[in-house]
Structure 1
């Protein structure tokens, strides 16, 4: 994914290259951040390149398209970025396609398009493919994320211990934006030539929120209302977004449900880790928690978590109250099991 984006960036940086285009879309937003940071570095290094950025939700395509052809007096290459194409109107899609078709053999121009969702059947997408790349940015498999972590460390001349990589990948559920933010913090802390071990991870508190989720689920399993509320309030005080807390709790419950299946019950920690696709240390913690949760309780919990997700996104009730109510209900589930 990023290697293909790098190829498009290289083409965009070549002043003598033919016209090119690259559409970046999908749920993973790190590649878009990577694109913008790369373009920022590019214009700092090459004075003969200009970058123009447009937010589709804020501009009229009919008005700005005629300006895209014009190069500045001192620029040999113009890179145009049109972002937030998620609600692309039918007429605008047609205008953009016509512009692309008219410039596919031009020079001195490169166009980047970004969106979260795009209809691949649009004629516009077919036109993009003819003159460039269409890159979908869905979540990468853990193995690919680990490779990117190693590469990220090389950029800072640091190395990450395997345990650190496993921890960040699991705690942030493969979210590249969050993983690389934490990785950068760790890399700057140890400095060039340094090695990031578990000690640095704990010292800087990277992944602390997710670590607290394990403890929170432990207390929920024991029905310990006071400790559960304290942990929740700690997460909220640390500015952990309620939807993030919810997604991490839901993911942990899914892992518990998978580990509770009869086919998984007798597995070793290593085999369970492979089944759940988590690091061994996570599988060991999951096994320790299994006896606290019956399958019926896990089923009830999923219904509750779905309801909490809806309330957080649509209710006027303060988020902290919704989350506290979730904790109380999950703890009561333990009392019913007992």
Structure 2
């Protein structure tokens, strides 16, 4: 079965459309845990969680234990929820028992099995995806992250518009655990206010924004190689993947290049914001950076990023080293041009 996306699954949960069994896998443990909790809250009566929900672990469970859990009817809930985490740690015997059960799952049980990032195109995991609803969970893209931010803020009793949510994403990145922490800070600082604005985000996430991709490109433009590499390492420490950092730098440079073209034909700032889905809050900084570089320099940097992307796809390539080498090469290229000038 083709994996269901996070957004599609959330929509089904809201409509209370549940399948007999799910397979959550991927490197975003925060989303896996959140979805398990969301489904549990939607199905299990709160006062009977200790009776109608079972949490099992792949490296500890026995055949008797898993069969008792999935075949026991709920006491006072719509269904019994059984969570089997670490399915990748199951023995061959236990994998067979699980697959046999999934041929005819109990109608009174909803089973969720979880694993880290695994290959699902063959063997046990392929069979598992065919007998469950598979959901691959990695870091959300910007569009889905903005939706997630707004829903999480709403669940806490506040509201935030798309501009504020997008600003938070651009400030913090795609790691849900960091975003959740910042949302908690925002709700505390909001006090009696019920709506969180972009201004609130700018005030609370200001320190976080110092580590943003915008400041990284700004440091490169100042030929500050040391600061640029420090910012790259900060982004990596915050959970940003090297490929994601490269994609953000590339998008940023493409915007700078396009803004130079729009400036030549006297496009309005409103058109610039609309063209690139930019917030007015950020446009001034983009225009300032765009004026710092010639078209030739921007095109050369874009080419350097594309070459680095190709090297990162090699499993033999040291990701951090490639990023640091890219930053160094960009800075040295500008220094050489300044010297020649």
State whether TM-score is above 0.5: yes
* Aligned residues between the structures: 315
Q: Is the 8 A contact 1:308 1:326 kept in 2?
A: no
Structure 2 unmatched runs, 5+: 1-6
Whole-angstrom CA distance in 2 between matches of 1:174 and 1:47: 31
1:295 aligns with 2:314: no
The alpha-carbon distance between structure 1 residues 92 and 286, as it changes in their structure 2 partners (threshold 3 A), is farther
Q: Helix, strand or coil for the counterpart of 2:157?
A: coil
1:255 aligns with 2:251: yes
- How far off is 1:254 after superposition? 0.8
- How far off is 1:312 after superposition? 11
- Residue 3 (structure 1) aligns with: 11
1:21 aligns with 2:26: no
- How far off is 1:233 after superposition? 4.3
Structure 1 counterpart of 2:128, from 121, 124, 130 = 124
Structure 1 unmatched runs, 5+: 12-18
- Residue 169 (structure 1) aligns with: 169
Structure 2 counterpart of 1:244, from 215, 240, 244 = 240
- Residue 98 (structure 1) aligns with: 100
The alpha-carbon distance between structure 1 residues 125 and 93, as it changes in their structure 2 partners (threshold 3 A), is farther
Q: Is the 8 A contact 1:24 1:134 kept in 2?
A: yes
Q: Is the 8 A contact 1:29 1:177 kept in 2?
A: no
- How far off is 1:301 after superposition? 4.2
- How far off is 1:307 after superposition? 5.6
1:49 aligns with 2:51: yes
Q: Is the 8 A contact 1:257 1:298 kept in 2?
A: yes
Deviations 1:59-95 (A, max 9, x none): 4665643343464997776421123446888775543
1:140-289 aligned within 5 A: 142-172=142-172, 175-191=175-191, 193-205=193-205, 208-209=208-209, 212-225=212-225, 229-230=226-227, 233=230, 241=237, 244=240, 246=242, 249-259=245-255, 265-266=261-262, 269-282=269-282, 284-289=284-289
Whole-angstrom CA distance in 2 between matches of 1:255 and 1:191: 36
**Could you state the TM-score of these two structures normalised by the residue count of structure 1?**
0.69
Q: Helix, strand or coil for the counterpart of 2:152?
A: helix
Whole-angstrom CA distance in 1 between matches of 2:92 and 2:270: 52
**Could you state the TM-score of these two structures normalised by the residue count of structure 2?**
0.68
Q: Is the 8 A contact 1:172 1:178 kept in 2?
A: yes
Deviations 1:87-107 (A, max 9, x none): 8887755432211224344x3
Whole-angstrom CA distance in 1 between matches of 2:236 and 2:314: 18
